[in-house]
């Protein structure tokens, strides 16, 4: 039986107090909706997305996302309840399909739970339930004396005895499409909220003599909905804890899993260590023996074996070789490559650089749009002046060159192999290989008895 996932994402999310639709609020660096689409994708299910408030923004995100097949869109112009929302997508679902109903604001649901739900619904209707110590706010699962599900009652419509029930409805449901269409057509809105509840299909299925199957969620956390900023922050920490534990079980060493943030994908080799406060974004690959220091931020970075990032570095778009040493307080920007054994020290910034083997820039330098050879020494305060106000230009530095402290290389310019640039020089023309270039005032003046300016005394 083909599976079709209907994802409800039409709510206004007013408690978020945001111009961004609720389902686009981020958990782990991705919109909540992205997590739900990924879970549905694990079922190999055709996807239907029911939109309402902020539909244009969600569709713009889907177009920008451009990954995998786009879900089919249905619009719920008026929010009249969950049954009404599902009904908007059902015409596009073939009768012979199995429908799984998901929610765009339940981002932590696992593929394994959905797969259990999929199997449980093979012979009819299936629900995901969970037992809570404090079930306030949730619909309760009603069972007969034999333990069979007879229905679901929303809290506002529940009696005192029903409110004492601790097994609650998560909203996750699976059923044959033909049956679901038939049941939803019979749902009425004679309840406290005047809405068409999807939960009412359970009693209708039971009335037809169908036994309702239930699947217990692996944890209450994975089926929690997110309605406000507090719940969003909770979902973020739950996600981070889950990802940290997954990575540690695979061999990653985290100094403190509670102070680690994954906002993308991390691929780590053996004996990789990450200190506290590190943020991982995009796709980051860390080879065997890599160490990342405290409070560093890595986005779309690849580091070779045994390379070390010291504390407080910001690295984006870096592809580095083995045995490199970066930081502390270094910044590397987009489209930069390091060969093996490169050393970039504190307060060095590199952008669009190709840095050769064993080259060193110890501190306080800017290297932009530069092709730098091997074994180059770049002193403190060196700047490649790559921008003329309209265009960027490249600096080329040959193998073994020495760039003295506080020098400016005005691009486009080439420094030959083993050339030596004297400290304090401004270089505007090509320096040949094995040459010394000095461009600075040679006469030093000393004025005896000179008095520095002083501020007037405070009144």
In the chain, the percentage of residues whose pLDDT exceeds 70 is 98
Nearest to 9 by CA among 32, 41, 38: 32
Q: Indicate if the pLDDT at residue 446 is higher than 70.
A: no
Mean pLDDT taken over the chain: 94
Residue 45 is predicted with a pLDDT of 92
pLDDT band of residue 454 (cuts 50, 70, 90) is confident
Q: Where are the beta strands (DSSP E) in 91-136?
A: 98-103, 126-131
Average confidence (pLDDT) over 214-243: 94
- Return the DSSP state at 107: T
Q: Indicate if the pLDDT at residue 4 is higher than 70.
A: yes
In the chain, the percentage of residues whose pLDDT exceeds 90 is 86
Q: Is 453 exposed, middle or buried (0-12, 13-18, 19+ CB in 10 A)?
A: exposed
Cα-only R_g, the chain: 31
Verify whether residue 35 is a known catalytic residue: no
- pLDDT, tens digit, for every residue of 416-429? 999 999 999 999 99
Residue 27 is predicted with a pLDDT of 97
Tokens representing residue 99 in the block: 């429908």
Q: Indicate if the pLDDT at residue 39 is higher than 70.
A: yes
Residue 67 is predicted with a pLDDT of 59
Domain parsing of the chain, residue ranges: 3-223, 240-437
pLDDT band of residue 450 (cuts 50, 70, 90) is confident
Tokens representing residue 151 in the block: 């229905």
Long-range contacts of 285-288 (CB under 8 A, 24+ apart): 287/322
CA distance 162 to 143: 10
Average confidence (pLDDT) over 155-171: 93
Q: Indicate if the pLDDT at residue 310 is higher than 90.
A: yes
For 51, the enclosing helix (H) or strand (E) is strand 46-51
What contacts 338, CB < 8 A, 6 or more positions away?
318, 319, 320, 321, 324, 344, 355
Q: Is 259 exposed, middle or buried (0-12, 13-18, 19+ CB in 10 A)?
A: middle
Between 450 and 143, the higher pLDDT residue: 143
**Helix (H, G, I), strand (E, B), or coil: what is residue 344?**
strand
- pLDDT, tens digit, for every residue of 333-353? 999 999 999 999 999 999 999
CA distance 342 to 330: 13
**Furthest-apart CA pair in the chain: how many Å?**
107
Average confidence (pLDDT) over 163-187: 95
- pLDDT, tens digit, for every residue of 232-286? 999 999 999 999 999 999 999 999 999 999 999 999 999 999 999 999 999 999 9
Q: Is 430 exposed, middle or buried (0-12, 13-18, 19+ CB in 10 A)?
A: middle
Q: What is the dihedral of CA 155, 159, 163, 168, to 10 degrees?
A: -50
- pLDDT, tens digit, for every residue of 90-110? 999 999 999 999 999 999 999
Average confidence (pLDDT) over 151-155: 90
**Marked catalytic residue, from 35, 48, 312, 363:** 363
CATH architecture type of domain 3-223 = Alpha-Beta Complex (3.90)
Residue 453 is predicted with a pLDDT of 73
CA distance 149 to 170: 14
CA distance 241 to 243: 6
Residue 12 is predicted with a pLDDT of 82
Residue 22 is predicted with a pLDDT of 94
pLDDT band of residue 68 (cuts 50, 70, 90) is low
The phi and psi torsions of 258 (rounded to 5 degrees) equal: -75, -15
- The domain over range 240-437 is classified in CATH as 2.160.10.10: yes
Residue 65 is predicted with a pLDDT of 83
Tokens representing residue 168 in the block: 């609650």
Residue 66 is predicted with a pLDDT of 67
């Amino acid at each position: 039986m083909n599976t079709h996932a209907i994802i409800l994402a039409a709510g206004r999310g007013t408690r978020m107090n945001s111009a961004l639709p609720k389902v686009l609020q981020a958990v782990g660096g991705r919109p909540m909706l992205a997590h739900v689409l990924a879970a549905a994708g694990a079922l190999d299910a055709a996807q239907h997305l029911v939109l309402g408030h902020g539909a244009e923004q969600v569709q713009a995100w889907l177009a920008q996302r451009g990954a995998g097949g786009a879900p089919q869109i249905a619009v719920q112009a008026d929010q009249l309840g969950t049954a009404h929302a599902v009904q908007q997508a059902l015409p596009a679902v073939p009768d012979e399909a199995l429908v799984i109903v998901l929610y765009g604001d339940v981002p932590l649901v696992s593929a394994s739970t959905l797969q259990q739900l999929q199997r449980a619904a093979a012979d009819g209707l299936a629900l995901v339930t969970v037992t809570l110590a404090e079930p306030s706010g949730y619909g309760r699962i009603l069972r007969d004396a034999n333990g069979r599900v007879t229905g679901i009652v929303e809290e506002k419509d529940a009696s005192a005895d029903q409110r004492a029930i601790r097994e609650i409805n998560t909203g996750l449901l699976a059923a044959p499409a033909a049956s679901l269409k038939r049941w939803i057509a019979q749902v009425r809105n004679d309840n406290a909220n005047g809405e068409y509840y999807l939960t009412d299909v359970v009693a209708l299925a039971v009335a037809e003599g169908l036994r309702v199957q239930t699947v217990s969620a692996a944890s209450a956390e994975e089926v929690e909905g997110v309605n406000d900023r507090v719940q969003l922050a909770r979902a973020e920490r739950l996600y981070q804890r889950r990802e940290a534990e997954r990575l540690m079980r695979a061999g990653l060493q985290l100094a403190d899993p509670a102070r680690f943030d994954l906002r993308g994908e991390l691929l780590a080799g053996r004996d990789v260590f990450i200190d506290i406060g590190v943020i991982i974004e995009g796709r980051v690959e860390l080879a065997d023996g890599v160490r990342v220091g405290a409070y560093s931020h890595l986005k779309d970075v690849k580091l070779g074996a045994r390379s070390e990032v010291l504390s407080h570095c910001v690295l984006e778009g870096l592809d580095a070789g083995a045995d490199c040493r970066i930081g502390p307080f270094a910044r590397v920007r987009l489209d930069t490559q390091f060969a093996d054994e490169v050393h970039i020290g504190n307060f060095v910034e590199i952008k669009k650089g190709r840095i050769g083997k064993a080259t060193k820039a110890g501190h306080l330098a800017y290297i932009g749009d530069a092709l730098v050879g091997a074994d180059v020494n770049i002193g403190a305060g060196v700047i490649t002046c790559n921008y003329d106000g309209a265009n960027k230009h490249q600096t080329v530095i040959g193998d073994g060159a020495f760039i003295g402290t506080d020098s400016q290389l005005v691009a486009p310019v080439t420094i030959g192999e083993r050339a030596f640039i004297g400290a304090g020089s401004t270089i505007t023309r090509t320096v040949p290989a094995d040459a010394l270039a000095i461009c600075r005032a040679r006469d030093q003046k000393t004025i005896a008895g000179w008095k520095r300016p002083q501020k007037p005394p405070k009144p």
